[in-house]
Amino acid sequence: MKKLLDNARTFHDRIASQRETFLRFAAGQSPSILFITCSDSRVVPALILRTGPGEVFELRNAGNIVPPYDPDRFSGEAATLQYAVDVLQVKDIVVCGHSHCGAIGAVASGQDLAALPSVDRWVSFARPGLAQLLDTPPQDPAMGAFVQRHVATQLDTLRGYPEVASAVTAGRLRLHGWYYRVDTAEVLELDDGDGEFHLH
């Protein structure tokens, strides 16, 4: 923690050459992309995308889960989506799942999460989309097939949000699915044509 505190305390000095850029942030933000990914510490969007402050709007949670749209249920995910699409008017939304994901691994292996009731209720949103795969627990610790299916399902769930559906129909918003390998740093992209993930 001391190292992190020291880094935070010296941040102001370390960005001295970029002072003008940071001063402009007071006027607002205009990112072009909403990046939805897992809270996992091994997934670092700015590192993967090679972006700086102000370029990417992020939504992170355990398992990069998008809860189904429900007008009677309020959530940080729904609020972030609405703000990104209606206010910031992002042009692209990426759902990025990753290999060796603990949340998806728990669902895939049927792990007993009774001791973690909040986690259990949260990952239950992922179970329906993975139902067809749950009879065959993953042999591969990377769980590529499970995570990729999960990402595709989250994209379908996104289309159920009125603001997302409207923006996609109007042609001002595109949706993308990615699968990131934490051990190889490879990014596979979902091809809308064949429904498969490919390395480009």
Q: Do 199 and 181 form a contact (C-beta atoms < 8 A)? A: no
Q: What is the pLDDT of residue 134?
A: 87
* Token digits of residue 184: 């190889």
DSSP string for residues in the chain:
-HHHHHHHHHHHHHTGGGHHHHHHGGG----SEEEEEE--TT--HHHHHT--TTSEEEEEETT---PPP-TT---HHHHHHHIIIIIS--SEEEEEEETT-HHHHHHHHT---TT-HHHHHHHTTTHHHHGGGTTS--SSTT-HHHHHHHHHHHHHHHTTSHHHHHHHHTTS-EEEEEEE-TTT--EEEE-TTTS-EEE-
Q: CA gyration radius for the chain?
A: 18
Q: What is the pLDDT of residue 76?
A: 96
Task: Tell me the pLDDT tens digit for each residue of 57-89.
Answer: 999 999 999 999 999 999 999 999 999 999 999
Does 11 have pLDDT greater than 90?
A: yes
Say if strands 197-199 and 187-190 run parallel, antiparallel, or are unpaired. antiparallel
Q: What is the pLDDT of residue 39?
A: 98
Q: What is the pLDDT of residue 136?
A: 81
Q: Do 68 and 125 form a contact (C-beta atoms < 8 A)? A: yes
Query: Which amino acid is located at 180 in the chain?
Result: Y
Q: In the structure, what pLDDT confidence band is assigned to residue 137 with cuts at 50, 70 and 90?
A: confident
Q: Do 188 and 198 form a contact (C-beta atoms < 8 A)? A: yes
Angle between helices 144-158 and 102-109 (to 10 degrees): 110
Q: Would you put residue 94 in left (φ > 0), alpha (ψ -120 to 50) or beta?
A: beta
Percent of the chain with pLDDT over 90: 94
Q: What is the pLDDT of residue 60?
A: 98
Q: In the structure, what pLDDT confidence band is assigned to residue 181 with cuts at 50, 70 and 90?
A: very high
